[in-house]
Structure 1
Amino acid sequence: MTGAPTRRTPGTPCWVSLMVHSLSTTQDFYGALFGWTFSPGPQQLGPYVRAYLDNRVVAGIGELPRGRHLPVAWTTYMASDDADATAEQIRACGGTVGVGPLDAGEAGRLVIASDTTGAVFGVWQGGEHLSAELSGEPGTPVWNELLTQDTSTVAKFYAAVFGYDTESVLPAGLDDLTLHLEGRPVAAIHGVGNGLRRDRGPHWMTYFAVEDTDAAARRVAELGGRVVRPPWDASMGRLATVEDPEGAVFTIVAVAR
């Protein structure tokens, strides 16, 4: 568990946000699922709220402009000390900068980009707002993983941009890599070959902690979401992949208390 935010090592996932068509409906869903409360955040990109748990900020949700029929998905943001320099490095390594760099009020400076396979991610240079203030508790993001066709090429991109060291995941035969900074695992790349949904393509997956994976998966369905992959046991715990009523996919994992 983490408390008050501190500066994150550049490249560390530090924030997750979601852009949706109906902000109020989405707030109702995540409020009921995770116990989040909400307050207004920076409005530079339109209506936006910060999600809180125990009065500490854990995520952000914004509303897309009317008529913008973009895919709804959680975005993982990597910490940066200089968003402009990181944007230039993304371009130099073959990625694409779609939004920014731009200021989000006094909160910080952001970039939204895509890697060499098209997977979207964000870059966050913290100002008044450095990062999520709580992690490891039910209702908070606890892990981020890139799902892609294969890990070899895209891993080189992320290593060049953010300085990750990569480590293959055992057992042998899995196309999985763990991304390390300063000797600590911070994220992963999961190669799934042709196993990606055709309507999704490569994408970053956010993992949220819950007390009981099976109960949380049932609750998702009760609230109008959908269970994409029913609960299963893995090395990090009991997982389920679900989506909210607008189709944003995320994974839930039970955490030990």
Structure 2
Amino acid sequence: MELRLAQGTPCWVSLLTDDLAGARAFYADLLGWTYTPGPGQLGAYVRAELDGAPVAGLGVSTATGFPVQWTSYFAVDDADHTAQLVRACGGTVAVGPLQAERAGRMAIAADVSGAVFGLWQGEEHTGREAGPEPGGPAWTELLTPDTDGAVAFYTAVLDRPVRNADDESTLLVHGRPVAGIRHRAELRGHPPRWRVHFAVRDADATARHAVGLGGRILVEPHDTARGRAARLSDPQGGHFSVLELR
């Protein structure tokens, strides 16, 4: 068994889509992913890999009207206990906690503002810590109109401190920033949400390539404090960001 990632570490991202075959083809071409089967009780679900290492999950949404979306998961030592904390702190638990075969134990929850996130208690599958490899998860950040409420919620639920700042507060694990919390008064019709970023070598070229594959550019490539980034949509409507490696 691999060592479990530290509590509060973003460890996995998963897409629920209404066209699994189309999503697989899009991300394979855009980010270089290959696929292997995932846990059977999660339905039609595959794990995306880079050079044999798992980086993301893709599955089919069975809920009518459920939006196509990426979900960020956080490593926890005890998914059942953390799910109880979510409820006690004013959030909701929509799925689980449930056992994903021998891979681990998971739950899908929402914070006090309705932003959806996952909990993962890794066993045989510990997930993947955000890293700099092209095609892999690079960063995740929460967009919310209530940063104070979000900071209090995640500090209590994940038992990790948050460093407050005017532009972006950051969740810390052993003193290292692992995720951001950003204030957005206007979310343009979207609910508060965790935004997934994937590492790429060239944000501009990746954005153009996404359009060629049937995706859309939601926010043109631009420079940020973390590097050059772009906000994109896959052909099925799943929103994600790409972040250029420095």
Q: Same fold (TM over 0.5)?
A: yes
Instruction: Label 1:145 to 1:134 Cα distance change in 2 as closer, same or farther (>3 A).
Output: closer
How many residue pairs were aligned?
A: 246
| 8 Å Cα contact 1:56-1:133 kept in structure 2 | no
The correspondence for 1:253, drawn from 233, 237, 243, is: 243
- Among all aligned residue pairs of Structure 1 and Structure 2, give the percentage whose two residues are the same amino acid: 49
The correspondence for 1:86, drawn from 73, 82, 88, is: 82
* 1:2-17 matched pairs, under 5 angstroms: 6-17=3-14
Structure 1 Cα separation of the partners of residues 220 and 159 of structure 2: 35
**Which residue pairs with 1:240 in the alignment?**
230
**Structure 1 residue 248 displacement after superposition:** 1.1
Structure 1 Cα separation of the partners of residues 118 and 111 of structure 2: 10
TM-score (norm 1): 0.92
| 8 Å Cα contact 1:50-1:59 kept in structure 2 | yes
**Structure 1 residue 45 displacement after superposition:** 2.4
**Structure 1 residue 164 displacement after superposition:** 2.3
1:53 partner amino acid? L
| 8 Å Cα contact 1:143-1:208 kept in structure 2 | yes
The correspondence for 2:40, drawn from 40, 43, 65, is: 43
The correspondence for 1:163, drawn from 151, 159, 172, is: 159
Q: Which moved more, 1:130-139 or 1:112-121?
A: 130-139
Name structure 2 gaps, 5 residues minimum: none
| 8 Å Cα contact 1:95-1:116 kept in structure 2 | yes
**Structure 1 residue 8 displacement after superposition:** 1.1
Structure 2 Cα separation of the partners of residues 68 and 8 of structure 1: 34
Structure 2 Cα separation of the partners of residues 191 and 26 of structure 1: 30
* Structure 2 residue 179 is the aligned partner of structure 1 residue 187: yes
TM-score (norm 2): 0.96
**CA RMSD of superposed structures (Å):** 1.5
Name structure 1 gaps, 5 residues minimum: none
Instruction: Label 1:9 to 1:133 Cα distance change in 2 as closer, same or farther (>3 A).
Output: closer
**Which residue pairs with 1:178 in the alignment?**
170
Structure 1 Cα separation of the partners of residues 2 and 142 of structure 2: 24
